[in-house]
């Protein structure tokens, strides 16, 4: 039985840092190789192997997978929704070619498992707004959403055609304090906490009643690991699973913060990201993930607010 050896691509990003730390706790520091184009994140330094890697350089990636005897690949490198609209071609090329490089190498080297995140950004204005189901009308209007939806079909193809065990989650907006957000439309839900602690005020780029599906990072990391550890026969979705935790608006998260930062003030100045946010569902039906591998979130808005404020103040 080959020893588990994991390669995390995009390990210095918002999800990558925390996923690498969680995987190192499970598999051992030396068995989780962190990689990124950027330099190693401070939180990862000294906790395990780190290689500089460009997911667009297929040959280099292939050499790393062979040389390190990689058995699982977690591909987190991507350009998110807001940044992607400023660089459509770059977003499409990185998000698509990066995935195809990984899937092809996984097929060729018989990598045991691959993880690749999709997003609720695959849904568009014609998808149901409330309790958006796993299968429905899906017409994304951002390059990020288009690339993620196309990527889901490539994952399904490589699984059916070449038996690559690639698994995926449609992450909602993710909230965390350990590493910088990655240029998404939902990043306001992180910025608002930092601004509340630093200056007691925040200028929000979304309208106050813009409801979006969100999740605290500890829930997202646990969902990822629970999906990857689920027995293969339990996995009925080979595009990408809907998962959800909470939905809230800027006004609601501001009210939650005001319970602890009583002088906190918020202003609203919507920008181009309002159109992106309005194209997405307000809430997600994740009953398929619940049925297949018993997904269940643990953090509500109250618990998330307390933990975010406590840790940002500590940092």
Binding site for ligand VAH (CB under 6 A): 80-81, 119-121, 144, 171-174, 184-186
Nearer residue to ligand VAH within complex by CB, 114 or 206: 206
270 phi/psi in degrees, rounded to 5: -60, 145
Least CB distance to ligand VAH at residue 272 (A): 13
Distance CA 106, CA 260 (A): 48
Which candidate, 289, 280, 287, places its Cα nearest to that of 129? Answer: 280
The strand pair at 246-248 and 212-216 is best described as: antiparallel
- To ligand VAH, the closest distance from the beta carbon of 91 in angstroms equals 10
> Distances from the Cα of 170 to the Cαs of 83, 150, 199, 211, 297, in angstroms?
19, 13, 33, 17, 14
Find the DSSP H helices in 87-187.
Answer: 88-108, 143-162
Residue whose token pair is 């195809």: 100
DSSP-derived pairing of the beta strands 118-119 and 32-36 = unpaired
Q: Is 144 a catalytic residue?
A: yes
Number of residue whose CB is nearest ligand VAH: 184
Say which of 74, 115, 144, 177 is annotated catalytic: 144
Tell me whether residue 64 or residue 119 sits nearer to ligand VAH (CB atom).
Answer: 119
- Nearest distance from residue 150's CB to ligand VAH, in Å? 15
Strand order in the sheet with 173-175: 173-175, 212-216, 246-248
User: Closest approach of Cβ 305 to ligand VAH, in Å?
Assistant: 19
Q: Distance between CA atoms of 283 and 20, rounded to whole angstroms?
A: 28
Residue labelled with tokens 């690949």: 73
CB of 280 to ligand VAH, least distance (A): 7
By C-beta, is 48 or 84 nearer to ligand VAH? 84
* Beta-carbon count within 10 A of 89 CB: 9
E strands, the chain, in order: 6-9, 32-36, 50-52, 72-75, 113-115, 118-119, 166-167, 169-171, 173-175, 201-204, 212-216, 241-242, 246-248, 265-268
Q: 114 - beta bridge partners?
A: 73, 166
276: left (phi over 0), alpha (psi -120 to 50) or beta: alpha
- To which H or E segment does residue 25 belong? helix 14-27
Which residues are annotated as catalytic? 144
């Amino acid at each position: 039985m080959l020893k588990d050896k994991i390669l995390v691509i995009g390990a210095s990003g918002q999800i990558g840092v925390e996923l690498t730390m969680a995987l190192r706790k499970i598999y051992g520091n030396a068995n989780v190789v962190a990689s990124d184009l950027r330099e190693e994140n401070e939180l990862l330094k000294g906790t395990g192997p780190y290689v500089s890697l460009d997911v667009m350089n297929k040959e280099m990636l292939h050499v790393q997978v062979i040389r390190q005897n990689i058995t699982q690949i977690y591909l987190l490198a991507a350009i998110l929704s807001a940044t992607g609209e400023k660089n459509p071609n770059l977003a499409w090329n990185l998000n698509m070619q990066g995935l195809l490089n990984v899937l092809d190498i996984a097929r060729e080297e018989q990598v045991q498992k691959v993880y690749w995140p999709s997003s609720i950004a695959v849904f568009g204005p014609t998808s149901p707004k409330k309790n958006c189901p796993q299968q429905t009308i899906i017409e994304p209007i951002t390059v990020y959403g288009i690339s993620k939806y196309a990527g889901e079909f490539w994952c399904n193809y490589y699984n059916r055609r070449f038996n690559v065990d690639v698994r995926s989650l449609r992450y909602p907006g993710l909230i965390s304090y350990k590493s910088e957000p990655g240029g998404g439309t939902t990043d306001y839900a992180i910025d608002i906490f930092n601004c509340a602690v630093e200056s007691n005020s925040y200028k929000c780029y979304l309208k106050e009643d813009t409801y979006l599906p969100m999740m605290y990072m500890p829930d997202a990391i646990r969902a990822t690991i629970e999906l990857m550890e689920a027995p293969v026969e339990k996995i009925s979705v080979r595009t990408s699973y809907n998962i959800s935790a909470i939905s809230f608006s800027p006004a609601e998260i501001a009210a939650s913060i005001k319970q602890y930062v009583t002088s906190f003030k918020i202003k609203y100045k919507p920008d181009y990201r309002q159109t992106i946010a309005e194209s997405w569902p307000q809430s997600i039906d994740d009953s398929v993930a619940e049925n297949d591998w018993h997904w269940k979130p643990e953090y509500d808005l109250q618990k998330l607010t307390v933990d975010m404020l406590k840790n940002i103040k500590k940092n």
